[in-house]
Chains A and B, each alone.
Chain A
Amino acid sequence: MKNSRLKKEFIKERQFFLASPAILWQILFLYIPLLFLIGISFFRSFEYFSIKHVTLDNYKVLLTLSYAKIIGRSFLLAFFNAIFCFILSYPVAYFLALRVRRFKHILLFFLALPFWTNFIVQVYAWFFILDYHGLLNSFFLKMGIISQPLHILNTPIAIYIVMLFCYLPFMVMPIYTSLSKLDTFTLEASFDLGATPWQTFSNITFPLSLSGVQTGFFLVFIPSFGEFVIPTLLGGGKLMFIGSMISYFFLETRSVFLGAAFTCLSGLFLIASALFILWLFKKLFR
């Protein structure tokens, strides 16, 4: 009796096996290495690799202000990058979803066009724009806005500019999707009932697009937190972020165990901050 029910459930879930190659791949190359990483963060070296040598020493070493600063800096970069992306994306998504009638597909195509170029190539292209003798400075000089070129490259500003550029589509797309699913009759109803355009936006449009905003926020926030390429290349290596710190541990000083502990610590912080932001979303908008 129970057996046959189990069998039924089993048959119902048969499609599960279609997903098994991908899941196997993930298990082999993500989850097992991750577990291994977490494991070695509690050891000091391979010579003392047994249960009685489990230690929290790595973590104790990391509990200093300079490492906290690195994590904090990464958090701020990710957080503000997500905020800036949101501020710039919302009008774009709103316009695309609710105002544009013709040429919508062409505009969406333009939005996706950056994905056709390799990420590293895009980042290098920014060198030519932000350089001391680059496009931006010569443009500003010609326009007479500045009298002397600005130092943008190798500063946090360069990091923020390029991060914003690279992550913008990840914010626009989910907001666009949620806004285009919006029933425009509800907006008409809001006006009809006496609401001003601003009241309609804050009471109806924005709350109904919140799921898109939330998705976009995390699509930007989480990868930004561990972003390695942009801060390293455009920040001139002057400022450490968690991405560059981890690579420093593993590749430069070869302190694998400390690096593993730092990775775990950053990961924990990321999970905690993501949960906090999720809670904040619920608190603020519900």
Chain B
Amino acid sequence: MREIRLVNITKKFNDELILDKLNLTIPSGEFFALLGPSGSGKTTLLRLIAGFEHVDGGSIFLGKKNITQVPINERKVNTVFQNYALFPHFNVFDNVAYALKVRNVPKDIIEQSVIQILQKVHLEKQIYKSITQLSGGQQQRVALARAVINKPDVLLLDEPLAALDLKLREKMLVELIELQDALETTFVYVTHDQFEALTVADRMAIMNQNGQIEQVGTPEEIYEFPRTSFVAKFVGSTNIFRGTLKIEEKESYLKIDDLGMFKVLLPKHKAWVCDDCTVLMSLRPEKIEISKKKLEGFSNCLEGIVESIVYHGRSTQYHVRLKNDFLVKVFEQNEEHFPQEEIDYDDKVFMYWQKENVVLLEK
């Protein structure tokens, strides 16, 4: 149970800079998710921690120990690979026992540990089956068991659920969380799927296309208080408006060209918050109330014409065209069987939101 500290990590592939002076601390014992679009260098980062790739600059610390030059097989870091990378010529038992076998652990202890760990991942009945006889989910569990049997300080998971179907993925996510609770190992989970990251992570880091970390925080912090428009757009969906801040004594406003003035709450202690400064405003679709009627008690209101309606089951997504041609996305929860108000295509609607429910962003 140790933390991982990455200091000024630089990595190039064929003169192309993948990671440039990256700094990140992964706290001990946490379920940490690295979320980013494909090509953001998150897998590279994982491979650097595991030792499969060498850094071109910077250091990696595991606890207080600098492991930058420590070979793969001597790092107390294990990996669950995206394609599982199980040993096809071994059965389940031999795959799981491998980490102990290469350390010459006595046979009876190996057997005990393997049975114990296989019980944890519900595979005790498959112990002597060959790998090819297992389903995708079972192979995934073997890969997990194999990686955790030697009690690593850190477990790295590289998009481990990418090959599974949705239902199984949801089930495995819960199992992963339970396993992490039981083992208290630091889990580093790489994914491009925001749903997975938000579900499993105690804390997460968002990486952008250029291999930089945009924000680190709890899933709630990331979702509710994104610091950049990249984070706001990548995690969940949002509407981004550009406008000018107008700071008055009692109330502050965002002036958006052609749309008017909107009440906002100013974030504290931010250098970029000033009168007449240009900022971005992120407004999440589910934070908007949509109605054909005039409603009271909201700080802000926008008017538009419904352009498309997509029914998702538990919610309905509306696209509303504003008078400046901007398209606003709105999610409305379907709370009733028979909604009191039917909104149809080309209806004129009002969209309401509270000023606390938007986030102002610098870029």
Which A positions have Cβ atoms within 8 angstroms of B? Answer: 183, 185-186, 188-196, 199, 203-204, 207-208
Q: Which of B73, B83, B102 contacts A183 (CB 8 A)?
A: B83
Inter-chain contact total with CB atoms closer than 8 Å: 65
* Contact, CB under 8 Å: B83 / A191: no
B260 at the interface (CB under 8 A from A): no
Tell me the bound Cα distance from A194 to B146 in angstroms.
12
Q: Which of B77, B79, B89, B103 contacts A189 (CB 8 A)?
A: B79
* Contact, CB under 8 Å: A192 / B87: no
Since A186-B86, A188-B50, A190-B87 are in contact, a sample of 20 more A-B pairs with Cβ atoms closer than 8 Å, ordered by chain A residue number, is A183-B83, A185-B83, A186-B85, A190-B102, A191-B51, A192-B52, A192-B79, A192-B147, A193-B73, A193-B98, A193-B99, A193-B150, A194-B73, A194-B103, A195-B73, A195-B102, A199-B102, A203-B98, A207-B89, A208-B88
Which residues between 135 and 160 of chain B lie within 8 Å of chain A, taking CB atoms? 146-147, 150
Which B positions have Cβ atoms within 8 angstroms of A? Answer: 50-52, 71-74, 77-79, 81, 83, 85-89, 98-99, 102-103, 146-147, 150
* Contact, CB under 8 Å: B85 / A193: no
9 A-B pairs with least C-beta separation: A185-B85, A193-B99, A191-B72, A189-B85, A195-B102, A192-B79, A199-B102, A186-B85, A194-B73
A interface, over-half SS: helix
Tell me the bound Cα distance from A186 to B99 in angstroms.
13
Given contacts A188-B52, A203-B102, contact A193 B78 (CB under 8 A): yes
* Contact, CB under 8 Å: A186 / B87: yes
Nearest B residue to A197 via CB reads B73
* Contact, CB under 8 Å: A185 / B81: yes
Given contacts A186-B85, A189-B79, A189-B81, contact A194 B150 (CB under 8 A): yes
Tell me how far the C-beta of B154 lies from the nearest C-beta in chain A, rounded to whole angstroms. 11
Q: Which residues of A contact B72 (CB under 8 A)?
A: 188, 191-192
Q: Which residues of A contact B85 (CB under 8 A)?
A: 183, 185-186, 188-189
Nearest A residue to B98 via CB reads A193
Tell me the bound Cα distance from A204 to B78 in angstroms.
17
Nearest A residue to B146 via CB reads A193
* Contact, CB under 8 Å: A189 / B102: no
Q: Which residues of A contact B87 (CB under 8 A)?
A: 186, 189-190, 203-204
Given contacts A185-B81, A208-B89, contact A193 B102 (CB under 8 A): yes
Q: Which residues of B contact A199 (CB under 8 A)?
A: 102
* Contact, CB under 8 Å: B98 / A195: yes
* Contact, CB under 8 Å: B78 / A192: yes
Q: Which residues of B contact A190 (CB under 8 A)?
A: 87, 98, 102
Tell me the bound Cα distance from A190 to B50 in angstroms.
12
Tell me how far the C-beta of A99 lies from the nearest C-beta in chain B, rounded to whole angstroms. 16
Tell me the bound Cα distance from A203 to B87 in angstroms.
9
Q: Which residues of B contact A193 (CB under 8 A)?
A: 73, 78, 98-99, 102, 146-147, 150
Tell me the bound Cα distance from A203 to B83 in angstroms.
20
Q: Which residues of A contact B147 (CB under 8 A)?
A: 192-193
Nearest B residue to A182 via CB reads B88
Nearest B residue to A207 via CB reads B89
Tell me how far the C-beta of A188 lies from the nearest C-beta in chain B, rounded to whole angstroms. 5
Tell me the bound Cα distance from A173 to B275 in angstroms.
74
* Contact, CB under 8 Å: B99 / A194: yes
Tell me how far the C-beta of B272 lies from the nearest C-beta in chain A, rounded to whole angstroms. 44
Q: Which of B73, B83, B89, B103 contacts A192 (CB 8 A)?
A: B73
Q: Which of A185, A196, A207 contacts B73 (CB 8 A)?
A: A196
* Contact, CB under 8 Å: B102 / A196: yes
Tell me the bound Cα distance from A196 to B89 in angstroms.
19
Nearest B residue to A210 via CB reads B89
Tell me how far the C-beta of B92 lies from the nearest C-beta in chain A, rounded to whole angstroms. 15
Q: Which residues of B contact A204 (CB under 8 A)?
A: 87
Name 15 A/B residue pairs within 8 A (Cβ), A-sorted. Answer: A183-B85, A186-B85, A188-B50, A188-B79, A190-B98, A191-B51, A192-B51, A192-B147, A193-B78, A193-B98, A193-B146, A196-B102, A203-B87, A203-B98, A208-B88
Tell me how far the C-beta of B266 lies from the nearest C-beta in chain A, rounded to whole angstroms. 49
Tell me the bound Cα distance from A185 to B74 in angstroms.
18
Q: Which residues of B contact A195 (CB under 8 A)?
A: 73, 98, 102
Q: Which residues of A contact B73 (CB under 8 A)?
A: 191-196
* Contact, CB under 8 Å: A194 / B88: no
Tell me the bound Cα distance from A264 to B102 in angstroms.
49
Tell me how far the C-beta of B91 lies from the nearest C-beta in chain A, rounded to whole angstroms. 12
Tell me how far the C-beta of B217 lies from the nearest C-beta in chain A, rounded to whole angstroms. 29
Tell me how far the C-beta of A203 lies from the nearest C-beta in chain B, rounded to whole angstroms. 7
Q: Which residues of A contact B99 (CB under 8 A)?
A: 193-194
Tell me how far the C-beta of A168 lies from the nearest C-beta in chain B, rounded to whole angstroms. 27
Tell me the bound Cα distance from A192 to B52 in angstroms.
8
Tell me how far the C-beta of A132 lies from the nearest C-beta in chain B, rounded to whole angstroms. 51
Q: Which residues of B contact A185 (CB under 8 A)?
A: 81, 83, 85
Q: Which residues of A contact B79 (CB under 8 A)?
A: 188-189, 192
Given contacts A194-B99, A199-B102, contact A186 B50 (CB under 8 A): no
Question: By CB atoms of chain A within 10 A, which of B73, B146, B147 has the most?
Answer: B73
Q: Which residues of A contact B146 (CB under 8 A)?
A: 189, 193
Nearest B residue to A204 via CB reads B87
Tell me the bound Cα distance from A73 to B97 in angstroms.
45
* Contact, CB under 8 Å: B89 / A194: no
Q: Which residues of A contact B78 (CB under 8 A)?
A: 192-193
Tell me how far the C-beta of B299 lies from the nearest C-beta in chain A, rounded to whole angstroms. 54
Q: Which residues of B contact A196 (CB under 8 A)?
A: 73, 102
Q: Which residues of B contact A208 (CB under 8 A)?
A: 88-89
Tell me the bound Cα distance from A208 to B90 in angstroms.
10
Tell me how far the C-beta of A141 lies from the nearest C-beta in chain B, rounded to whole angstroms. 47
Q: Which residues of B contact A203 (CB under 8 A)?
A: 87, 98, 102
Given contacts A192-B72, A193-B146, contact A186 B98 (CB under 8 A): no
Tell me the bound Cα distance from A48 to B266 in angstroms.
116
